[in-house]
Every structure is written in C-alpha cells, then in structure tokens.
C-alpha cells in the first residue's frame, strides 16, 4: 500500500498519556546551543594579501564584485605556484566572472584598506594599520566615523 499521487501521508502521532516516550516513533531531541559569536581574527596575512589584490583591481576602476574576482584569480595562480605576472593575468581574466562568496570580515577589511590605500593615498603598511584598526573598532561597536578615526590614529594621521 504505497502513497498515491496527491495522497497526504499521515502525520506522526505523539505518544499518548501513559505511553513511554522512549518507545515513541519520534521525539524532540534537545540540540546543543551554537555560539553565534564564533569569529575568526581579521585581518590575518591572507586577508592582507587579498586586500592588496582587491585594491589593485579597484585602482583600475572595477566594482567590488570584480575586485573580489580579481583577488581570487590572483590567489588561484599564486597558490598553484605561478609567478606575479601570471597572477596578474589570472586576476585580470577572473574579473569577467562573478566571485565566490567572501566573508564579511574580509569584505570589510578590503573596503577599509582600499579607502586608505587609494582614496587617502597611504602606502601599503600604513593602509594595513588603518584598515586593521578600523575593522577592530567596528567589531568593538564603533560606528563608521569612530572606525575611521581609529584607523587614522593607527596610521599616524592627525584629524582636523
């Protein structure tokens, strides 16, 4: 006796009074709580290298998705043992395709690094100081202005 097309299966029946729930055909199983605050430390060295490739593409006028694709293309080339020239070729070619998902921490770091490196014209070491402080300020609850001020202070800039 199988189900016929359009037939609805019978709903499971909860154990009745006096029945042992251990012998029921189904029961609610308590789940371990998940700590949703588990995060990774941003930035790590890979985030920093990724942000430099992201900014390389951004400097050429690309939109954020293409910048992520470029960084991912460069990473594929370099992790396969290719040189920088090949990484540039792969990064350029990758910009025509959508990127794979990028975690929020890396996206934020790329945005702050690009702001510091491109818009504020800070060299890479100071742009990394700026981005690191900005991301950490945001993680601590600061708003964008507070994050910018923290980044500026870390990079040794005076705020007027």
Residue 19 gets which letter from DSSP? S
pLDDT digits (tens, 9 = 90+) for 109-146: 999 999 999 999 999 999 999 999 999 999 999 999 99
Residue that has been written with the tokens 């390389």 in this structure:
56
Instruction: Please indicate, yes or no, if residue 52 is contained in any of the structural domains.
Output: yes
- What's the confidence (pLDDT) of residue 42? 82
- What's the confidence (pLDDT) of residue 101? 94
In angstroms, how far is CA 90 from the centroid of its own chain?
21
> How many angstroms separate the CA atoms of 112 and 89, rounded?
25
Instruction: Please indicate, yes or no, if residue 1 is contained in any of the structural domains.
Output: no
Q: What long-range pairs does 139-143 form, CB within 8 A, spacing at least 24? A: 139/39, 139/42
Instruction: Please indicate, yes or no, if residue 64 is contained in any of the structural domains.
Output: yes
Assessment of whether the complete model's pTM goes beyond 0.75: no
pLDDT digits (tens, 9 = 90+) for 43-58: 999 999 999 999 999 9
Instruction: Please indicate, yes or no, if residue 27 is contained in any of the structural domains.
Output: no
pLDDT digits (tens, 9 = 90+) for 17-29: 555 555 545 656 5
Instruction: Please indicate, yes or no, if residue 23 is contained in any of the structural domains.
Output: no
Q: What long-range pairs does 13-22 form, CB within 8 A, spacing at least 24? A: none
**Residue 125 structural domain:** 45-154
What domain count does the chain have? 1
Instruction: Please indicate, yes or no, if residue 71 is contained in any of the structural domains.
Output: yes
Instruction: Please indicate, yes or no, if residue 137 is contained in any of the structural domains.
Output: yes
């Amino acid at each position: 006796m199988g189900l016929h097309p359009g037939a609805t299966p019978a709903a499971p029946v909860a154990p009745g009074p006096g029945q042992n729930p251990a012998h029921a055909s189904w029961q609610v199983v308590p789940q371990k709580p998940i700590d949703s605050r588990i995060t990774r430390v941003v930035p790590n060295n890979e985030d920093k290298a990724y942000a430099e490739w992201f900014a390389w593409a951004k400097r050429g006028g690309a939109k954020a998705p293409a910048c992520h694709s470029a960084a991912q293309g460069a990473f594929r080339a370099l992790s396969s043992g290719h040189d920088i020239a090949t990484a540039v070729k792969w990064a350029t070619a990758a910009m025509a395709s959508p990127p794979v998902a990028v975690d929020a921490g890396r996206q934020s770091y790329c945005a702050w690094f690009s702001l510091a490196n491109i818009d504020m014209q800070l060299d890479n070491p100071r742009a990394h100081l700026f981005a690191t402080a900005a991301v950490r300020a945001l993680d601590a609850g600061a708003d964008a202005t507070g994050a910018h001020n923290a980044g500026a202070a870390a990079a040794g800039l005076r705020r007027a």
